[in-house]
Chains A and B, each alone.
Chain A
């Protein structure tokens, strides 16, 4: 008989958490190699994958196994030796499950980096010890800060090529620490390593007696991931109205519920809710789930709410609790990452997708553009070009009900879509609202 290797195998009831992290850095900093090394040394690579690597090593690699080939799945990536699109990899240790987004370093693929980073708990920025901090390292770190990724690891790679010099490590660290205070990142760890040789990746390196910290995997296994989810202020963007037309079970003949994923807070049976934009107050009659009704539910659970009143509510509406009210406005201010070859200009119209609704918007002002070299905002630029980070103002066709991104990632974020081509052109993070919703009726009073 086999013995289970993972606790998850024998006891599916033990809660195991998932750490989502992404790796970023410039071309050739060794991102894919680092992931290959993590998988290889944590024994997450299977024999047939290894055999395929050896086959391609015989043909193209002069007999050297190329760990980057484990993640570079596209032909064009293997040919050019670069990562073009985000590759997701999965592995588990007895302590945690991991989802890795291997994000491209090449500047033209920054939008793919945003894709990989937006859901991450932790970001690894790779630095080539020989070249030190470069523009792409700053851009990636600035993005991690903008997206409020709570943990950052600065992996100073290729330390073998600088003779494992502690002085060089400290020099790069100092360079980083100079601009870090300008970014909002709570936890930063610096690790000297060699992805190619496996030093300080899974095993502690004998070459760095001066480094007291943990190897990378130890850190990934133990970093405390406080909940990303906001449990204050109930937010329920309605995705779908659940109304059986010809129910096989007659008890559901009059069933009418609203289905969605809780984007913030906790909801309980009997609780008073406000439906937006209607502004009507109602109560939760039942929290319906496939596994039976529950007394309470919390973010990010997916549920169906049955309400006391038959009110006008459909996809795009939002139910909120009566405390921690969201803001509302047609005039929005946001930080954005522009991701399209055609630059953003004032006066252009886009579709803005926020939670479950999509509304037309016009760009009324470009406030500033982040200078990546100095990390200073440059006021009133003419446009925001591909990969630029900047601040803008928008005017929406309908009011939005939202929170600042720093308060709630899910109700504080949006994407911009270009009508016609349907291209996703920007990722946006809303500034805190200047005014919260104002109850108009007596029943609204809190």
Chain B
């Protein structure tokens, strides 16, 4: 007898495809946020599965902090080209130059400055929906996020007053100036993402695999040595065999010591890990409510 059974990845896949097609059906000008990171790589494959053989109905949008790993940007550009997708890049540098974003002296990350840059891009292209690769298991504020996350005219998220989300019926209705953020990977875990990359044989940027890199020890983490914040004489510097588990700003993304050179190695490593993925991100450690404050202001 034939069994009509879907395994966990197939379940997650059909859920995400359904959401992507709801976006295509209900919004006029959606954009898909693509950084070249592992989550958005999965998102892009799901978009191919949802819309092929047609072209993707959304352009790809990336907010470049200017502090990205160069490997990531190369990968981003190459992948967009392979897919024949339109890639829109807006930079924090330009937003600062235009007076849209104001840096605070001493600020480590450009996470905060991404917010006005993103909101300006949404306004410029009149996007009514941004599809992102955020997952609920990443962080406990993200764990409260809906698939369809409503933002008001100021790009703000009101976590105490979210729209109920029942069965697979998503309410995507907006008034002018309002905006939706949609997260098709909400129910995926870090393990699911890597298992999907393995199953779909997706290419990922080289920095996810073990490589040799000069790192500096800061607040209990190994951060990549970079020109923006060079090591001081008192700091410990090492030439280590590392990989990154999650990619953010080059100044706040911790490297983990690892010998994983294949996707299968990474899966084995995550299965045994005793630290979460976000444990290597200095930007989330500022305070217990760091992510909540950024999200309320309009962060991804």
Which residues of A are interface residues toward B (Cβ below 8 A)? Answer: 1-6, 8-10, 12, 14-18, 46-49, 52, 56, 70-76, 78, 84-90, 92, 97, 99, 111-112, 114-115, 118-119, 227, 229, 231, 239-240, 242-249, 252, 255, 259-261, 266, 288-291, 298-302, 315, 339, 351, 353-354, 356, 409-410, 413-415, 417, 422-424, 427
Q: How far is the CA of A89 from the CA of B272 in the complex (A)?
A: 19
B173 touches A112 (CB 8 A): no
B186 within 8 A of A: yes
Contacts of B168 in A (CB 8 A): 119, 261, 410
Can you list 26 residue pairs at the A/B interface with Cβ under 8 Å? A3-B272, A6-B271, A9-B191, A9-B270, A10-B267, A16-B8, A48-B278, A52-B288, A73-B140, A73-B142, A88-B137, A92-B189, A111-B164, A229-B4, A244-B53, A245-B55, A255-B53, A259-B21, A289-B49, A298-B4, A300-B11, A353-B171, A413-B167, A424-B163, A424-B166, A424-B171
Contacts of B289 in A (CB 8 A): 75
B93 within 8 A of A: no
A114 touches B171 (CB 8 A): no
B54 touches A242 (CB 8 A): yes
A12 touches B195 (CB 8 A): yes
Which residues of B are interface residues toward A (Cβ below 8 A)? Answer: 4-11, 13-14, 17-18, 21-22, 24-25, 48-55, 84, 136-137, 139-144, 146, 159-160, 162-169, 171, 173-175, 186-187, 189, 191, 195, 198-199, 267-276, 278-279, 288-289, 292
Contacts of A424 in B (CB 8 A): 163-166, 171
Q: How far is the CA of A196 from the CA of B159 in the complex (A)?
A: 28
Give the Cβ gap from B204 to chain A, nearest Cβ, in Å.
Answer: 16
Among the interface residues B7, B269, B275, which one has the most CB atoms of the partner chain A within 10 A?
A: B7
Contacts of A288 in B (CB 8 A): 53
Contacts of B84 in A (CB 8 A): 248
A115 touches B173 (CB 8 A): no
Q: Are A46 and B143 also in contact (CB < 8 A) when A2-B268, A302-B17 are?
A: no
B292 touches A74 (CB 8 A): yes
B136 touches A414 (CB 8 A): no
Q: How far is the CA of A18 from the CA of B189 in the complex (A)?
A: 12
Q: How far is the CA of A269 from the CA of B194 in the complex (A)?
A: 33
Q: Are A85 and B144 also in contact (CB < 8 A) when A15-B7, A300-B6 are?
A: yes
Q: Are A118 and B137 also in contact (CB < 8 A) when A2-B272, A12-B195, A74-B159 are?
A: no
Q: How far is the CA of A90 from the CA of B267 in the complex (A)?
A: 17
Contacts of B276 in A (CB 8 A): 46, 48-49
Q: Are A315 and B175 also in contact (CB < 8 A) when A242-B53, A245-B55, A261-B14 are?
A: no
Q: Are A85 and B160 also in contact (CB < 8 A) when A266-B4, A422-B171 are?
A: yes
Residue from the list A15, A89, A97 in contact with B5, Cβ < 8 A: A15
B51 touches A414 (CB 8 A): no
Residue from the list B171, B174, B189, B279 in contact with A90, Cβ < 8 A: B189
A87 touches B144 (CB 8 A): yes
B274 touches A46 (CB 8 A): yes
Residue from the list A47, A73, A299, A422 in contact with B175, Cβ < 8 A: A422
For the A-B complex with A17-B8, A119-B167 known, give 6 more contacts whose Cβ atoms are closer than 8 Å: A18-B11, A46-B273, A87-B140, A88-B143, A119-B168, A240-B21
Contacts of B7 in A (CB 8 A): 14-17
Chain B's closest residue to A1 (CB) is B268
A18 touches B162 (CB 8 A): no
B275 touches A240 (CB 8 A): no
Among the interface residues B14, B25, B48, B267, which one has the most CB atoms of the partner chain A within 10 A?
A: B25
Give the Cβ gap from B178 to chain A, nearest Cβ, in Å.
Answer: 8
Chain A's closest residue to B136 (CB) is A88
Q: How far is the CA of A288 from the CA of B142 in the complex (A)?
A: 34
Contacts of A74 in B (CB 8 A): 141, 144, 159-160, 292
A301 touches B6 (CB 8 A): yes
Chain B's closest residue to A358 (CB) is B173
Contacts of A246 in B (CB 8 A): 55
Q: How far is the CA of A420 from the CA of B272 in the complex (A)?
A: 51
Q: How far is the CA of A111 from the CA of B17 in the complex (A)?
A: 26
Contacts of A245 in B (CB 8 A): 54-55
Contacts of B292 in A (CB 8 A): 73-75
Q: How far is the CA of A205 from the CA of B163 in the complex (A)?
A: 40
Q: Are A12 and B164 also in contact (CB < 8 A) when A17-B8, A48-B275, A71-B143 are?
A: no
Give the Cβ gap from B180 to chain A, nearest Cβ, in Å.
Answer: 11
Q: Are A353 and B175 also in contact (CB < 8 A) when A239-B25, A298-B4 are?
A: no
Contacts of B279 in A (CB 8 A): 46-48
Among the interface residues A245, A247, A413, A424, which one has the most CB atoms of the partner chain B within 10 A?
A: A424
Q: Are A413 and B169 also in contact (CB < 8 A) when A2-B271, A87-B144, A90-B136 are?
A: yes
Chain B's closest residue to A100 (CB) is B143
Chain A's closest residue to B274 (CB) is A47
Contacts of A6 in B (CB 8 A): 191, 271
Q: How far is the CA of A275 from the CA of B139 in the complex (A)?
A: 44
Contacts of B54 in A (CB 8 A): 242-245, 247
Contacts of B5 in A (CB 8 A): 15
Contacts of A86 in B (CB 8 A): 144
B288 touches A78 (CB 8 A): yes
Q: How far is the CA of A301 from the CA of B11 in the complex (A)?
A: 8
Contacts of A99 in B (CB 8 A): 187
Q: How far is the CA of A356 from the CA of B11 in the complex (A)?
A: 20
B191 touches A8 (CB 8 A): yes
Q: Are A56 and B288 also in contact (CB < 8 A) when A9-B268, A92-B191 are?
A: yes
Give the Cβ gap from B191 to chain A, nearest Cβ, in Å.
Answer: 7
The 6 closest A-B pairs by CB, nearest first: A73-B140, A48-B279, A15-B7, A9-B271, A302-B17, A2-B272
A302 touches B144 (CB 8 A): no
Chain B's closest residue to A6 (CB) is B271
Give the Cβ gap from B130 to chain A, nearest Cβ, in Å.
Answer: 18
Chain A's closest residue to B9 (CB) is A12
A249 touches B53 (CB 8 A): yes
A2 touches B269 (CB 8 A): yes
A4 touches B14 (CB 8 A): no
Contacts of B275 in A (CB 8 A): 46-48
Give the Cβ gap from A57 to chain B, nearest Cβ, in Å.
Answer: 12
Contacts of B136 in A (CB 8 A): 88, 90
Q: Are A302 and B140 also in contact (CB < 8 A) when A8-B195, A52-B288, A73-B292 are?
A: no
Give the Cβ gap from A4 to chain B, nearest Cβ, in Å.
Answer: 5
Q: How far is the CA of A39 from the CA of B10 in the complex (A)?
A: 25
Give the Cβ gap from B168 to chain A, nearest Cβ, in Å.
Answer: 7
Chain B's closest residue to A70 (CB) is B140
Q: How far is the CA of A144 from the CA of B141 in the complex (A)?
A: 26
Chain A's closest residue to B273 (CB) is A46
B173 touches A422 (CB 8 A): yes
Residue from the list B25, B49, B163 in contact with A240, Cβ < 8 A: B25
